[in-house]
Amino acid sequence: MSGEIHKTAIISQDASIGKNVIVGPYAVIEGPVVLGDDVYIGSHCVVEGHTQLGKGCQVYSHAVIGSPPQDKKHKHKDMVQLVVGDYNIFREYVTVNPGTVEGGGRTTIGTNNLFMACSHVAHDCHIGSDCTLANYVGLSGHVSIEDRAIIGGLSGVHQFGRVGYLSMIGGCSKVNQDVPPFGMVDGNPATLRGLNIVGLKRANLPSETLLALRRVYKILFNSGLARSNALAQVKDQVKNFPEVKRLIEFIQTSKRGIS
């Protein structure tokens, strides 16, 4: 182990610390924590439990990563995990919980995500890569977030909710149903406002794909057709686009309904 460990930091003998790790003043690394190479832990942070942080992760002051799940069924002896990929940023006062036995025992986070100050990831959540959770976002238990999603500040996502690929949720939204891929939702309760056009352009999707998604959204959400009939029409009229296939599969597997 090399790097810079402040003399006031408390690090468990059970912890595994990679190369070039920085741990700031009064930070606590408690239990069998695994920190990858080049991890930064700021002052007064707590990382605990069966938590793994991939290389290059940054944890800023007063964040608490890996604390026990906020679930009455959880027992202190339960073997549960938090597995975090590479290059994630956890800003000040962020909290992230591991899974629960009932939920599969694991919370997972991919790579290159930004968790802005005071956001919260509850037990048994599964977050992809390249996502942004703005300030004070709250994810309830068992929430799934697909890659490249953006959630605006002060928004909350209901238990077992899903947020689709390249979607965007406006600030102060109450998300109690699934957010479809490529969509933009806003409000209380959150309702679909159309395609996430800015996000799609930033993703450099071809113009043909954008036109296809516009057509699909019009059929699915503005035609007045029953959902089954709308999906059948999309399958018949818009083909050979993997983005359209992703959207259809997401809708067909939704259990909470679509916002």
Structure tokens at 208: 């043909």
Catalytic, out of 24, 141, 152, 164: 141
Residue 41, φ and ψ in degrees, nearest 5:
-115, 115
Is residue 2 very low, low, confident or very high in pLDDT (cuts 50, 70, 90)?
Answer: low
Rounded to whole angstroms, the Cα distance separating 154 from 66 reads: 22
Catalytic residue among 50, 62, 120, 123: 123
Does the reported pTM lie above 0.95?
yes
Residues 138-161: tens digit of each pLDDT:
999 999 999 999 999 999 999 999
Distances (CA, A) of 209 to 91, 169, 205: 35, 22, 6
- Residue 166, φ and ψ in degrees, nearest 5: 55, 30
Q: Is 14 a catalytic residue?
A: no
3-state helix, strand, coil in the chain (%, to 5): 15, 30, 55
pLDDT digits (tens, 9 = 90+) for 20-55: 999 999 999 999 999 999 999 999 999 999 999 999
Q: Under a CB-based contact definition with an 8 Å cutoff, are residues 13 and 32 in contact?
A: no
Sheet containing strand 168-169, strands side by side: 3-5, 21-23, 40-41, 58-59, 89-90, 114-115, 132-133, 150-151, 168-169, 183-186, 191-195
**Does 161 qualify as catalytic in the annotation?**
no
Using one digit for the tens of pLDDT, what is the confidence trace for 166-179? Answer: 999 999 999 999 99
Q: Has 6 been annotated as catalytic?
A: no
Domains recognised in the chain with CATH numbers: 3-145 (2.160.10.10), 200-252 (1.20.1180.10)
User: What pLDDT band is residue 3 in, cutting at 50, 70 and 90?
Assistant: confident
Q: What angle do CA 63, 69, 72 make, to 5 degrees?
A: 140
> Is the Cβ–Cβ distance between 182 and 166 less than 8 Å?
yes
CA angle, 236 as apex, 231 and 242 as ends, to 5°?
A: 75
Q: Which of 124, 128, 178, 186 is catalytic?
A: 124
Residue 90 CA to its chain's centroid (Å): 12
Which 3 state secondary structure label does DSSP give 18? coil
Residue 1 pLDDT grade (very low, low, confident, very high; cuts 50, 70, 90): low
Q: What would the pLDDT profile of 198-215 be if each residue is shown by its tens digit?
A: 999 999 999 999 999 999
Q: What pLDDT was estimated at residue 239? A: 82
Distances from the Cα of 155 to the Cαs of 69, 120, 140, 192, in angstroms?
Answer: 20, 11, 11, 15
